[in-house]
Every structure is written in structure tokens, then in C-alpha cells.
Amino acid sequence: MDKFDVCIAGAGVVGLAIAYQLSKSARYANASIVLLEREPSFGQITSSRNSEVIHAGIYYATDSLKANLCVAGKKLLYDHLQKFELPHRKLGKLIVAQKTEEEALEAVKEKAHENGVTDLCWIDTHQLRKLEPEVRGHAALLSPSTGIIDSHSYMQNLLNLAESQGVIFASRSEVIAVHQEPKSFLINTVLTHTHGLEPYDFHCTEFINCAGLNAQELALKTEGMNPKYVPRLHLCKGDYFSYSGGSPFSHLIYPMPEANHIGLGIHSTIDIAGQLRFGPDTEFVDNQSYTIDAGKSNRFVNSIKRYFPTVDPAKLHPSYAGIRPKIVGPEDDAGDFQIQDSSIHGIKGLVQLFGMESPALTASLAIGEYVIDQMNREARR
Ligand SMILES: Cc1cc2nc3c(=O)[nH]c(=O)nc-3n(C[C@H](O)[C@H](O)[C@H](O)COP(=O)(O)OP(=O)(O)OC[C@H]3O[C@@H](n4cnc5c(N)ncnc54)[C@H](O)[C@@H]3O)c2cc1C
């Protein structure tokens, strides 16, 4: 039976970043690493259904993993994108407050400062008009370090680098169960071929669960994993509408974030090709369906009108949707990433990642470093 040192389940941006960081880390220089993905290719689920924004790290609870890994990850990501000449733009973002929201905007600035985001500039109505003539607001915060990324090019680059350093990538390979054996795991997978399904089992010493929306399901199929450490999954869908014609904005435009920070409000982003889109909204759902309700268009228009009064409803078109793998419900406070090693669940060699919602794209390289630190610490215990 084949044996690998490390198996990573899930080749979204998080699994890819971990594979890349592992492949270049000293302790794993000669390790055999396999990255398994159940879809026909990498990054086809949440990692290709998001806003593709490089977040500054403004809103998250201070000292949370989201705040720390976003701020650290943003720097690693910009350096990486520059080094490998990958498509991205540091456009800057404006968080626009209306008259009654000025105090809340000040609180956003303070929170950002506590998180180490010290470059936000206060913009008054007059300056806002100059920066963005189409935008209406009482005041705004300019975040110069926020940007946009072509997530597919980034993921392809991570995969190329990881493979060039020996990582084996297998798509159409679903992990269906993880068994504990003395000093290793027995992994059961199913490979999908054109002629049908084939079971394939192997051993590995360390196993990393980065299965995104399926992380909980896979954790519960891991022998010895106490279900009390598996947080409940709450699916929170976000729909996007594209806006035809050229973008009237030169920055990313955000309203004030939603209560409990469930979402960041229906904002405008521009993709690398210059296409303007609005979204995502927030809707807790029961299943993983990506169908967009075109009837939401009125609700979008009403939200957008607050900061972009001349929005033309005829230019809005249903575009795509993503689903946040939240581990908190609509009534709860904003949750954090959960990256569990044996100090939590008691199983040596196992790392489980839950609740990897935004800003995990921005934070991906820092998440990779964090997981490797955990694995190195565990090896020393
Ligand atoms: C609407 C929305 C907007 C967002 N906007 C931003 C943003 O602007 N900036 C930002 O930083 N972040 C953003 N995010 C967050 C970001 O997209 C995600 O945090 C990130 O893509 C998560 O990556 P992942 O690898 O954990 O998950 P995924 O991309 O879902 O990858 C998990 C992979 O595991 C595979 N898999 C599942 N089960 C198995 C199995 N049993 N065996 C093998 N493979 C398996 C899946 O097929 C999938 O490819 C947004 C998210 C959403 C939903």
C-alpha cells in the first residue's frame, strides 16, 4: 500500500497554499506530500465564487485568527503576487458612511488600528466627491492597501510551484474516510474515472482536512474525532449581480458592514478584467445551491442607491453566487477560523480547518505558515 508523509484533502486556495508552504518549508523538504481534490480541477468551489478582494484586515475581532492572518497574509500575498508577476491591482477601497453612521465609521477606524491596519484615511464629503463623483456619503474611510486579485491565476501558480517541489496533485479523488492506525492514518478514497469509480487506500503520517464546505462531513468520518470538536456548519449564501458598461468608480466601494459582521454589505468590486459587480448579499440557506434569484434585483438596487443614487436597474444582471462555510448562525457574533491540532481534538498528526470563510483567500499564505507552525510544534511535543 502507498505511504505518504502528508495528505491534504481539498485543493481550494487554502489547501493549495498549505501544499505550497509545506513544499518549501525546511522540515518537509524531502517529505512526500499528496493533495487530493474531489472535483475535476482545483479551486472550483468557494475559491472561485468570491469577491477576489485582497482585504486589509479592518473589521475582524482584535487578536482573532481572522485579524492576525489577514494582516500577515495580505503582506505575504502582495509580495508573492509581485514576485511571480501575477495579476492584481491595489485599487484601494472606500467605506462610505451616511449621516447617521459617522460614529460607527469612527469605530471601524479604531478597530482597524487595533488590528494593525494603520493606513486608513478619513475622507469628508467634499473629498469623497472629488475621489468618486458618483458616490454619495457623509464621510468615508479610504483603505489604500485593499486590492483585487485574479484568484484563478494565483491558485494555478500555487499548484505549479507546489508540483515543481514534488507535491503530487490528484483531482477526481475524494477522501471518504480516515482511520487511525499506530503512527499513521489509513485514508480511504474514491477516484472517479471515465469508466467508473475506483477505491484507493493509502497510509499517511499527517492528514490535513481543508475540505471547505465539506470539512465538517469529513471530520465526522475521521475515526476517533470527537464530534464535540466539530463546529456546526451554517451555509450563508452570497449572490452577485454584474453591472454592464464601464465602471463609474475607480475604487472598491463598500457601505458600512452589516450588523454582527455577517457580511460586509452589498459592495461594488471590479474584477481584473474591469467588470463591475455588486454583492454579495447574505442569506442563510439549507443546501448548496448556487442558483441566483433574479427577483433580488430590487433589493440590490435599494441597497446600492444609498451610496450610488444614479444606479441604473436595467444594467444589473444576475451573475454568480458563493456560499460561506460559517460556523456561527445569524444571531451569533462573528465567528473566527478554527484551525485545530491535537492540542484541541487529541489526535496526533491531524489538522482540521473549519469556518474558512472570508478573508481566507487574502490570508491563505499566512494560513499555510500557521498550519506548518502547528505541525512543527506538534513534532516537538
Ligand atoms: C461570497 C463570498 C465572498 C468572498 N470574498 C472574499 C474576498 O473578497 N476575499 C477573501 O479573502 N476571501 C473571500 N471569501 C472567502 C474565500 O473565498 C474562502 O475563504 C476560500 O476560498 C476558502 O478556501 P478553501 O480552500 O477553504 O475552500 P474551497 O475553495 O471550498 O476548497 C475546498 C475544496 O475541498 C474539496 N473537497 C471537499 N470535500 C472533499 C473530500 N472529501 N475529498 C477531497 N476534496 C474535497 C472541494 O471540492 C473544494 O475544492 C469569500 C467567500 C464567499 C463565499
Q: Name the residue type at position 346.
A: G
CA separation for the pair 279, 270 (Å, rounded): 11
Which atom of ligand 1 is the closest one to the Cα of 14?
25
- Mean pLDDT, the chain, as a whole number? 96
- List, for residues 80-130, the tens digit of each pLDDT value: 999 999 999 999 999 999 999 999 999 999 999 999 999 999 999 999 999
Compute φ and ψ for 53, nearest 5 degrees: -100, 135
Question: Cβ distance 91 to 81 under 8 Å?
Answer: no
Q: List the one residue out of 321, 333, 330 whose CA is nearest residue 59.
A: 333
Kindly state which CATH superfamily the domain 93-144+234-326 is placed in. D-Amino Acid Oxidase, subunit A, domain 2 (3.30.9.10)
The CA 131 to ligand 1 mean position distance, Å, reads 34
CB 337 within 8 A of CB 356: yes
CA angle 128, 134, 136 (to 5 degrees): 55
Cα of 128 vs centre of ligand 1, distance in Å, is: 34
According to DSSP H, which parts of 146-264 are helical? 151-164, 215-219
CATH 3.50.50.60 in the chain is located at: 3-48+152-231+334-380
Q: Helix, strand or coil for residue 148?
A: strand
Taking alpha carbons only, the member of 40, 354, 365 closest to residue 210 is: 354
Q: For 145-155, write each residue's pLDDT tens digit.
A: 999 999 999 99
The alpha-helical segments, DSSP class H, found in 204-274 are: 215-219
pLDDT in tens, 180-203: 999 999 999 999 998 999 999 999
Flag whether pLDDT at 259 surpasses 70: no
Q: What distance in Å separates the CA atoms of residue 46 and residue 322, rounded to the nearest whole number? A: 6
Distance 101 CA to ligand 1 centre (A): 32
Which atom belonging to ligand 1 lies closest to the Cα atom of 357? 19
How far apart, in whole angstroms, are the C-alpha atoms of residue 128 and residue 146?
17
Q: Is the CB of 213 under 6 A from ligand 1?
A: yes
Check if 55 has its Cβ closer than 6 Å to any atom of ligand 1.
yes
Rg (CA), the chain: 21
Tell me what pLDDT residue 258 has.
Answer: 72
**Mean pLDDT (whole number) for 328-345:** 93
Q: Give the CATH number of domain 3-48+152-231+334-380.
A: 3.50.50.60
Kindly give the number of the ligand 1 atom that is closest to the alpha carbon of 39.
Answer: 47
Grid coordinates 507552525 are at which residue?
373
Q: What is the pLDDT of residues 219-240, one digit of tens each?
A: 999 999 999 999 999 999 999 9
User: Within the chain, which residue ranges are assigned CATH 3.30.9.10?
Assistant: 93-144+234-326
CB environment 297-324: b (16+ within 10 A), e (fewer):
beebbebbebbbeebeeeebebebbbbb
